[in-house]
Structure 1
């Protein structure tokens, strides 16, 4: 473990915003539970984070967004040919506005090897930011913490938060 901390804490300076308002979160811009423990994750400075094995999958991020707008949250991931623990397992993409907000979520399943954008390339989990939000921070993540199954072979390429 690096510096004795088992979890990777997001490096905000790694997050970028394009001219059309899309926030791009590379793996180093995300919080990854067990991400600093090389028994569970390999996270290079550049490129995808590779999940070796965990039973608790939690990858999350946050960004201050514009009040009164709607955003889509997406993750670009892939499963390698030797992936395990994902067949028949539901993952949740969750998002909320403000620390005390209520979560919206989409259920997704990863059934095949290859690169995917989840929920998918055209939709994404949509979240409306209230125009009177006291805290316009969008908290989001990809989770599978309920099945108890060990999972591996997942690559996290990036997360996206884009205006809808």
Structure 2
């Protein structure tokens, strides 16, 4: 038995499903800060991850992609009726290519139905992978770490990365 158990959920890459040019990543295939602590998250074996309460939302993942291609990153999320702390707070969908890459991001908000919306970008965040990328790893995530407000009631169903054509 390990002496220390991380309070964070570490991605299980075996949970990632690849279908053609699309990766579907369920909650257990993502890194979730405080995800192993039942005071903050409820993460069943299958089904959506349920945010109980955090003031630091950080959900991330990574996959190997093909150089010279463009990819779309989306998160499928929903607010539960008893959600709190989201008014006036935006979330960022961020991505970069390689550990040393520069982040690109889109600001998103949760609309009245609890769905994540990016103004003018129904496809989600798009990112180009340079043909000469030294490291073709796509790092991506969903973040709300700036407001300092406690928030809860968010369900994360999955992240999707799709090659754009």
| TM-score (structure 2 length as normaliser) | 0.93
Alignment root-mean-square deviation, CA: 1.6
Shift of residue 109 of structure 1? 1.1
CA distance in 1, matches of 2:156, 2:54: 14
Residue 110 of structure 2 contacts residue 116 of structure 2 at CA under 8 Å; is this kept in 1? no
Residue 70 of structure 2 contacts residue 127 of structure 2 at CA under 8 Å; is this kept in 1? yes
Residue 75 of structure 1 contacts residue 119 of structure 1 at CA under 8 Å; is this kept in 2? no
Shift of residue 123 of structure 1? 1.9
CA distance in 1, matches of 2:118, 2:162: 13
Residue 74 of structure 1 contacts residue 117 of structure 1 at CA under 8 Å; is this kept in 2? no
1:12 is matched with 13
Following superposition of structure 1 onto structure 2, how do residues 130-149 of structure 1 map, counting pairs within 5 Å? 130-149=130-149
CA distance in 2, matches of 1:156, 1:92: 14
Following superposition of structure 1 onto structure 2, how do residues 64-83 of structure 1 map, counting pairs within 5 Å? 64-83=64-83
Shift of residue 118 of structure 1? 4.5
Aligned length: 161
Residue 108 of structure 2 contacts residue 116 of structure 2 at CA under 8 Å; is this kept in 1? no
Residue 30 of structure 1 contacts residue 61 of structure 1 at CA under 8 Å; is this kept in 2? yes
Q: Which runs of 4+ in 1 moved over 3 A?
A: 117-122
Residue 33 to residue 75, structure 1, CA distance change in 2 (3 Å): same
| TM-score (structure 1 length as normaliser) | 0.94
Unmatched tracts of structure 1, length 5 or more = none
Unmatched tracts of structure 2, length 5 or more = none
